[in-house]
Amino acid sequence: MTMQMSRPADLDVAGFELTDEQRRLRDQVRDFADTVVAPAAYEYDTKRSLPYGIVAEMGRMGLFGLPFPVEYGGQGKDYLSLCLAVEQLGRVDQSIGVTLEAGVGLGAMPIFRNGTEEQKQQWLPMLARGEALAGFGLTEADAGSDASGTKTTAVLRDGEWAINGSKQFITNSGSEITKLVTITAVTGEDRRADGSIKKELSAIIVPTGTPGFVAEAVYDKVGWHTSDTHPLTLTDVRVPEANLLGERGRGYANFLHTLDEGRVAFAALCTGAAQGCLEEAIRYAKSRNVFGHPIGSNQHIAFKIARMQARVHAARLAYYDAAFRLVAGVPFKMEASIAKLVGSEAAMDNARDATQIFGGYGFLNESPVARHYRDSKILEIGEGTSEVQLMIISRALGFES
Identify the CATH number of the domain in which residue 166 sits. Answer: 2.40.110.10
pLDDT value, residue 45: 96
Q: Is residue 8 part of a domain?
A: no
The answer on 227 and 260 residing in a single domain is no
Single-letter code of the amino acid located at 358: F
The answer on 93 and 43 residing in a single domain is yes
Which listed residue (17, 140, 383, 400) is catalytic? Answer: 383
The answer on 224 and 346 residing in a single domain is no
Q: Is residue 1 part of a domain?
A: no
Q: For 378-383, which contacts have Cβ atoms below 8 Å and span 24 or more sequence positions? A: 378/221, 378/222, 378/223, 378/224, 379/94, 379/266, 379/269, 379/270, 379/273, 379/343, 379/344, 379/347, 379/348, 380/344, 380/345, 380/348, 382/98, 382/266, 383/259, 383/262, 383/263, 383/266, 383/340
- Are 44 and 226 within 8 A, CB to CB? yes
The answer on 165 and 81 residing in a single domain is no
The pLDDT of residue 118 is above 50: yes
- Are 12 and 18 within 8 A, CB to CB? yes
pLDDT tens per residue, range 52-72: 999 999 999 999 999 999 999
d(Cα 45, Cα 73) in Å, to the nearest integer? 31
Q: Is residue 193 part of a domain?
A: yes
pLDDT value, residue 9: 44
Q: Is residue 141 part of a domain?
A: yes
The pLDDT of residue 305 is above 70: yes
Share of the chain above pLDDT 70, in %: 96
The pLDDT of residue 1 is above 50: no
**Residue range of the domain that includes 94:** 20-132
Q: Is residue 14 part of a domain?
A: no
Mean pLDDT for the stretch of residues 103-131: 97
The answer on 296 and 225 residing in a single domain is no
The answer on 194 and 261 residing in a single domain is no
Please give the C-alpha separations between residue 340 and each of 29, 83, 170, 343, 392, in angstroms, as whole numbers. Answer: 22, 12, 19, 5, 11
Q: Is residue 4 part of a domain?
A: no
Here the CATH number for the domain that contains residue 286 is 1.20.140.10
d(Cα 157, Cα 161) in Å, to the nearest integer? 6
- Number of domains, the chain: 3
Residue 15 pLDDT level (bands cut at 50, 70, 90): low
Is 216 annotated in the active site?
Answer: no
- Are 204 and 247 within 8 A, CB to CB? no
Q: Is residue 231 part of a domain?
A: yes
The answer on 239 and 165 residing in a single domain is yes
Q: Is residue 289 part of a domain?
A: yes
**Strand 133-137 to 178-191 pairing:** parallel
pLDDT tens per residue, range 150-207: 999 999 999 999 999 999 999 999 999 999 999 999 999 887 777 677 899 999 999 9
Q: Strand, coil or helix: what is 201?
A: strand
Find how far residue 245's CA is from the centre of its chain. Answer: 21
The answer on 178 and 83 residing in a single domain is no
